[in-house]
Structure 1
Amino acid sequence: MRSMMFSALGMCLFPVLAVPAAAQTVHDEGVWINATVMGPIADRLVFFAEVQPRITDGASRLSALLLRPAIGWQVSKALTVYQGYARVVEPVDGGRDRQEDRLFQQATWNVGKIGKLEVQSRTRLEQRWRNDGDGMSLRARQMVRLEYPLHAGSRRVALMGSAEAFVGLTRAEWGGTKGFDQLRSFAGLEIPLAGRSTIEAGYLNQLRNGAGSRTDMAHIASLTLFLRL
């Protein structure tokens, strides 16, 4: 089973290594810190709210601050659907900050287990507007997440891996990609805290479709706190 876990992680991270040799690849380093609070509201009504500062350019400056709340409905024990909103602020030196507003719809599906390997799917559709141009850009995101517990029990450390593909469906005046946008691949650990809360820490690789034949690759130290009420 451990070999299955590492094989699955390899499948998640393989696209990171599959950058075309002819493309110019620009590398960067960063730190992303995320804090997410989630829990019930009433009956099957649930919520989550997250804040995420992103530090890039060689981990030297704040390049984006993301605020993202959502309200959801538990269709079943395995499936929850959400309607949410996100505000993304990107500081611009010597100019007006770039601001993006997003509406998004999300479906989170706990697919089940393959032996001890836990599989989850997250599908998200985003409608995006920015303050530096007109129009809406539509983008789809699909993530597959894998967990493999290192010991038994609900409070356990687990190996984690995920891959999330971003595909632009429409462009706007301000930009946005049509077609492949980016791929995020993550490998790390899930560590239990009090109650059902956890910390996820590891390495995130962000592979983005840049201008022309350029590929942007960010190597990110990722730390996420999940507070489950």
Structure 2
Amino acid sequence: MRIAKLACALGALVAVTPAQAAPSQDEQFWFLTLAQGSVKDDILYMLEVQPRFGGDGSNLNQILLRPAVGVKLNDRLSVYQGYAAVRSPRSSGADVTEDRSFQQINWSIGKVAGGALTSRTRLEQRWISTGDDTGWRARQMLRYALPLSNKPRRLAAIASVEAFVALNDTDWGARSGFDRVRSFAGLEVPLSGKSTVEFGYLNQYVDNRGRRDAMNHVMAINLMLRQ
């Protein structure tokens, strides 16, 4: 009798656990506009604006403004210091605002299997309106672009992955360790000059530490305006 009860309990646990463990799902739309180029000689600038829509694309979840200045160290390596202002609207109560300072290293690794492999490393210091602590977070992205023709200006298949790691705990909810990962696959289409537009599918998995994890299915469009 005890064995039968134990078997029933285990069966119920197996049936319930996957549903509880499954992340929440949301379909989103992110539109990024990034302007970048040279101010003078090896002094660089970058300005990024990105609204993000969630709730199946019907609600503005977040808007981000991110300027930065940098220095080109050589043809393959650049460093930046920047600031990001982030606002997350709330249907009830005050919006959540965030200020970030960040340091960034862009590295053109080189050619791999006919495509270009690049790296972006970013260290962030974060201040959020719901707490007083400074959150430190490291981000590492790898991006691969494979040209689909031999033309100088050509369509390219692109893929990237970016891992986020929180480096400390904060009173506004950050917990040290793995934070999230973003994976992207799509196409890069040449525009006039050096500018391009990228579009494709981005998957974001968020580890919510003790709460239900989240998975976002994002249609992403990135307008890259290069000087």
Alignment TM-score, normalising by the size of structure 2 = 0.89
**Matching of residues 157-196 of structure 1 within 5 Å:** 157-196=155-194
Letter in 2 for 1:151: S
User: Which ranges of 4 or more aligned residues in structure 1 deviate by more than 3 Å?
Assistant: none
The answer for the alignment partner of 2:94 in structure 1 is 96
Flag structure 1 segments of 5+ consecutive residues without an equivalent.
1-19
Flag structure 2 segments of 5+ consecutive residues without an equivalent.
1-16
**Matching of residues 43-54 of structure 1 within 5 Å:** 43-54=41-52
- Give me the whole-angstrom Cα distance separating, in 1, the residues matched to 2:56 and 2:208: 18
- Give me the whole-angstrom Cα distance separating, in 2, the residues matched to 1:153 and 1:127: 42
- Give me the whole-angstrom Cα distance separating, in 2, the residues matched to 1:146 and 1:45: 26
> Which of 103, 123, 132 is the aligned partner of 1:134?
132
- Give me the whole-angstrom Cα distance separating, in 2, the residues matched to 1:153 and 1:45: 30
User: Identity percentage over the alignment?
Assistant: 46
> Which of 213, 218, 221 is the aligned partner of 2:219?
221
- SS state at 1:214 partner: coil
- SS state at 2:167 partner: strand
1:154 Cα deviation from its structure 2 partner = 2.9
Verify the 8 A CA contact 1:23 1:213 in the aligned structure 2: no
Verify the 8 A CA contact 1:91 1:98 in the aligned structure 2: yes
- Give me the whole-angstrom Cα distance separating, in 1, the residues matched to 2:128 and 2:152: 42
1:48 Cα deviation from its structure 2 partner = 0.6
Verify the 8 A CA contact 1:24 1:213 in the aligned structure 2: no
- Give me the whole-angstrom Cα distance separating, in 1, the residues matched to 2:101 and 2:70: 14
- SS state at 1:188 partner: strand
The answer for the alignment partner of 1:69 in structure 2 is 67
> Which of 115, 118, 133 is the aligned partner of 2:116?
118
1:145 Cα deviation from its structure 2 partner = 0.3
1:214 Cα deviation from its structure 2 partner = 2.5
- Give me the whole-angstrom Cα distance separating, in 2, the residues matched to 1:208 and 1:169: 16
- Give me the whole-angstrom Cα distance separating, in 1, the residues matched to 2:211 and 2:89: 26
How large is the Cα RMSD of the aligned pairs? Answer: 1.4
Which of these two proteins has the greater Rg computed from alpha carbons? Answer: 2
The answer for the alignment partner of 1:85 in structure 2 is 83
- SS state at 1:170 partner: coil
- SS state at 1:55 partner: strand
1:38 Cα deviation from its structure 2 partner = 0.5
1:171 Cα deviation from its structure 2 partner = 1.9
